[in-house]
Amino acid sequence: MTNIAICAPATPITREQSDALEALVAAEFPGHRVTFHDQCFERAGHFAGDDLRRLSALLECANDPAFDVVWFAKGGYGSNRIAEAATAQMNAAARTKTYIGFSDCGYLLAALYRARIGQSVHGSMPVSARSEGGRTAIRRVLGWLEGDTSGVEPSIDGTTPVAAFNLMTLAMIAGTPMMPDLTGHVLMVEEVAEYMYSVDRLFFHLAGSLPRIAGLRLGSITDVPENYVEFGQGEEDIARFWCDRMGVPYLGRALIGHTSANRVVPFGLASPPART
């Protein structure tokens, strides 16, 4: 049995969303047990509780030896406000866990990876459990926890370390104490709801702050707003341009992003967890 704790480091989810995930797990993944922290449903303005409440809930899940996995319920915005404090207060039990999320929760994945706490994993989150496409993405995560690698980003070959981030999140992490050393990694990036010129600007920032990575793969760039003037370059043109500027190989596309095609990306050189 894999015991999965779910908390919300950023924004809240609804009871309907948690019910949908519990039903999916019960019907298709009886080897897993999910436990939602009550904090997932609280609200303090934009956030799922104030900073202290979100931090406390995360630490309760991470530091409890009864749980094998901490799964972040939803992104949004807010995990950056508690990430450093969280890693500083995690105990020995927290260091054995798998941590799963993406988008805004990339702040936590980065801080955990830098601190070498547990296994950071880019993967879809419980908030998506009510849609059919979302359930498909969630099945990849739950299957991976059982050792099924079919939902892993197909370019991962196990010989080069990898990491995956939302572009905006990674740009905000760069230069902060949360930024892990990505030297020699294949870096995968995706973005949602940003103008194309903003995507270019984010690459500009990262080109001046990233270490010598092994290569870059571009995930989905979705829900791009329409600007009053066409930018004139598509997402892949932008990625190739900045890779050339950095002297970094552009390796093509990755199946990550804010879509139902979102794949699992275990950071580093990780293998699927072996649990019974």
**Contact, 5 vs 59, CB < 8 A?**
no
Break the chain into its structural domains and give their ranges. 2-154, 162-253
The confidence score (pLDDT) of residue 274 equals 46
**Contact, 44 vs 50, CB < 8 A?**
yes
3 state DSSP class of 149 = helix
In the chain the first and final C-alpha atoms are separated, in Å, by 6
Look at the pTM and tell me if it is higher than 0.85. yes
Model pLDDT for residues 193-208, shown as the tens digit of each residue: 999 999 999 999 999 9
- CA 14 to each of CA 56, 63, 71, 252: distance values in angstroms, whole numbers, following the listed order: 20, 25, 16, 37
The confidence score (pLDDT) of residue 209 equals 94
Residue 90 has what DSSP assignment?
-
Question: In sequence order, what are the beta bridge partners of 190?
Answer: 166
Alpha helices per DSSP H over 78-147: 83-88, 106-115, 132-145
Q: What is the arithmetic mean of pLDDT over 30-43?
A: 98
Q: How many angstroms separate the CA atoms of 67 and 22, rounded?
A: 16
Q: What is the arithmetic mean of pLDDT over 10-30?
A: 98
Other residues' Cβ atoms within 10 Å of the Cβ of residue 254: 26
- CA 7 to each of CA 3, 143, 168, 185: distance values in angstroms, whole numbers, following the listed order: 13, 20, 22, 29
**Contact, 168 vs 194, CB < 8 A?**
yes
- CA 197 to each of CA 16, 207, 234: distance values in angstroms, whole numbers, following the listed order: 37, 15, 10
Model pLDDT for residues 260-269, shown as the tens digit of each residue: 999 999 999 9
Q: How many angstroms separate the CA atoms of 263 and 255, rounded?
A: 6
The confidence score (pLDDT) of residue 273 equals 57
Assigned CATH for 162-253: 3.50.30.60
Residue 103 has what DSSP assignment?
G
Q: How many angstroms separate the CA atoms of 114 and 221, rounded?
A: 26
CATH superfamily of 2-154: Murein tetrapeptidase LD-carboxypeptidase, N-terminal domain (3.40.50.10740)
Model pLDDT for residues 145-196, shown as the tens digit of each residue: 999 999 999 999 999 999 999 999 999 999 999 999 999 999 999 999 999 9
The confidence score (pLDDT) of residue 272 equals 53
Residues of the chain with pLDDT > 70, as a percent, come to 97
Residue 154 has what DSSP assignment?
T
The confidence score (pLDDT) of residue 155 equals 97
